[in-house]
């Protein structure tokens, strides 16, 4: 019994392997990818879409919703971010159904049906230059194979030729998936939800700049800022000799025609001031160790000695 079961399983796997291989090949595994530049296969289209931010693998529900509302309409997906560079929760896309193409006007009945379901209406323009390719759409596996095979070659083609192509669009029409990235009028392919995001960021930056300006203005009118840093402190210029020398040096720089007598008087003033301080230090050194004399008392002793000398001269 056990041998019979193993034989049946072996036969099933032998038969299943060719079927799986045929399914994968039929879905487009061996399809040759052709990248071209020029007029895309899709003209201007009016689309009923829904915007979504998040991993691209979650967009399948939006495609299913579009097909449920109008199964015969072609669908489109617009992908604005590179999932290799942007985190999956921040990737932005729009998925919708093509209501009309070219000069044809969309059906009001279809438009109202989609609008009642929360879809927005947007028109993508026709461009004459775009990077495009196609891939068979035969099974559900074709979508995954197309992503794995077409996008790397599109990216390599654009990088090699240094083209500016964005965003990437996928048109599901019949048995083909058309991949397209415009080389001109790229801004016209950005739905309002994508355009408003950078605008809000700019407004927030301007508001932040205004707040900084207000804070700076408040600081500039504070008591601290109103004080001039160039005004010298009195404690730094308490010495008479230093202030006199500073004034003379400033005067000599500002007045090049200063007379020699004035300069000599300045020099004599500095020398006399220095000698007076030297005499003061000598008097302090001559004082007794236990005495508490101050510069003021020493000056008084000098005055009394001079008065005694004057009295002695008068008596003589």
Identify the three-state secondary structure at position 78: strand
Helix (H) or strand (E) holding 304: helix 295-315
pLDDT per position as a tens digit, 51-100: 999 999 999 999 999 999 999 999 999 999 999 999 999 999 999 999 99
Asked if residue 101 has pLDDT above 80, the reply is: yes
Q: What is the pLDDT of residues 164-192, one digit of tens each?
A: 999 999 999 999 999 999 999 999 999 99
CA pair distance 165, 187, nearest whole angstrom: 11
Ranges of each domain in the chain: 30-196, 248-315
User: Taking residues 116-145, what's their average pLDDT?
Assistant: 95
The model scores a pTM over 0.75: no
Tokens, residue 103? 């000069």
Tokens linked to 273: 């001031």
Class (C level, CATH) for 30-196: alpha beta
In this predicted model, what pLDDT tens digit does every residue of 136-149 receive, in sequence order?
999 999 999 999 99
DSSP 153: H
DSSP 88-149: GGG-EEEEEEEEEETTPPPPHHHHHHHHHTT-EEEEEPP-S-EEEEEEE-SSHHHHHHHHHH
237 pLDDT band (50/70/90 cuts)? very low
213 Cβ neighbours under 8 A, 6+ residues apart: none
Q: Could you give the CA distance from residue 308 to residue 302 in angstroms, rounded to a whole number? A: 10
DSSP conformation letters of 11-45: HHHHHHHHHHHHHHHHTTTTPPP--EEES-S---E
pLDDT of residue 234: 39
């Amino acid at each position: 019994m056990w041998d019979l079961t193993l034989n049946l399983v072996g036969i099933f796997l032998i038969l299943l392997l060719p079927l799986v291989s045929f399914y994968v090949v039929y879905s487009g595994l061996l399809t040759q990818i052709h990248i071209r530049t020029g007029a895309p296969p899709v003209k201007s289209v009016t689309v009923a879409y829904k915007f979504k931010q998040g991993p691209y693998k979650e967009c399948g529900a939006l495609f299913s919703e579009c097909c449920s509302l109008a199964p015969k309409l072609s669908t489109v997906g617009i992908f604005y971010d590179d999932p290799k560079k942007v985190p999956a929760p921040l990737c932005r896309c729009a998925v919708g159904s093509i209501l009309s193409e070219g000069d044809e006007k969309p059906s009001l009945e279809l438009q109202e049906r989609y609008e009642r379901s929360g879809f927005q209406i947007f028109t993508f323009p026709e461009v004459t230059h775009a990077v495009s390719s196609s891939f068979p759409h035969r099974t559900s596996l074709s979508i995954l194979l197309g992503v794995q095979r077409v996008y790397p070659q599109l990216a390599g083609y654009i990088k090699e030729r240094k083209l500016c192509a964005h965003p990437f669009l996928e048109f599901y029409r019949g048995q083909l998936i058309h991949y397209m990235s415009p080389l001109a009028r790229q801004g016209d392919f950005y739905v309002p939800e994508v355009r408003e995001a950078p605008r809000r960021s700019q407004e927030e930056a301007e508001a932040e700049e205004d707040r900084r300006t207000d804070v700076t203005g408040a600081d500039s009118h504070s008591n601290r800022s109103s004080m001039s840093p160039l005004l010298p402190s009195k404690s730094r210029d308490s010495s008479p000799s230093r202030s006199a020398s500073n004034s003379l040096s400033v005067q000599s720089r500002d007045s090049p025609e200063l007379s020699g007598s004035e300069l000599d008087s300045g020099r004599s003033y500095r020398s006399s001031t220095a000698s007076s301080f030297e005499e003061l230090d000598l008097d302090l050194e001559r004082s007794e160790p236990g005495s508490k004399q101050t510069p003021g008392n020493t000056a008084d002793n000098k005055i009394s000695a001079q008065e005694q000398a004057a009295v002695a001269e008068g008596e003589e």
